Amino acid sequence: MARLDEKIALVTGAGRGIGRAMAVRLAQEGAYVVVADIDRRLAEETAAQVTGLGRKSLAVSVDVSRRADIAQMIQRSVEGMGRIDILMNNAGVLRIQEVLDIIEADWDFVCNVNLKGAFFVMQAVARQMIQQGSGGKIINTASISGKQPEPHFLHYGVSKAGVISMTKSAAVAFGPYHININAICPGTTETDMSMMAMHARAERNQVPVEEEIQRRVATLPTGRRNQPEDIAAMAVFLASPDADNITGQAYNVDGGAVMIA
């Protein structure tokens, strides 16, 4: 039997990158997956990959910065799958900006998705899990940017630091209901979002983007960037019975980047 056989998982931001890798890995481990993304077409593509692995899937369009969308996502998930056992709270956005260039609209855009949205998705799923009475696992996607300085996307780093803090507090609040809540802090990962940051760094340093990537990789103890599947592997571990007594933690998956930053 697979580790997550017939568990019902909800993954936000599952249309591409880390979220898609999470959805696929969950299916490989036996879970049925609700694939939620602001882009319905991308959500349906990921859902098709899940069903191709022989697992039930449901594609849902959601803007996590809108509480009405969150409520509808939860309702559709429960109506379609019966319950929610696992949340991969992964939806996120990034803007590359100098600190003095950030305006209120930029701050609100980043923090409304990455922090406010993450909180209200977590809250809504925790409420559903409490009603079900059988506990659950919530994994929040944070970032090593929440643990170290990020002068070129300060608002992103602030939002991810907030995700780490809310993970710890929520783990205490929901522990009595047998809901484990942890965070993953990816380092540089081969995704569209990460490439935005790489292009920005290359432009600042006036070098080709491939040179900037190689420069970054050369500093990593493991000698390579993350693949989305590296994050998915940690997420599935935290969702599995192997992590039943782990909660309130924020794990770096970064090739050792934080140690040498």
* Residues annotated as part of the active site: 156
Element (H, E) at 207: none
Other Cβ atoms closer than 10 A to 176: 8
3-state class of 56 per DSSP? coil
Q: What's the per-residue H, E or C state across 183-202?
A: EEEECCECCHHHHHHHHHHH
Q: Is the distance from CB of 6 to CB of 29 less than 8 angstroms?
A: no
* DSSP annotation of 225: P
Q: How far apart are CA 207 and CA 137, in angstroms?
A: 43
260: exposed, middle or buried (C-beta count within 10 Å: 0-12, 13-18, 19+)? exposed
Q: How far apart are CA 190 and CA 196, in angstroms?
A: 11
Task: Please tell me the number of Cα atoms within 13 Å of 97 on its side-chain side.
Answer: 17
Q: Is the distance from CB of 144 to CB of 153 less than 8 angstroms?
A: no
Q: Which residues pair with 60 in a beta bridge?
A: 36
Give the residue from 6, 8, 7, 21 showing the smallest Cα distance to 191: 21
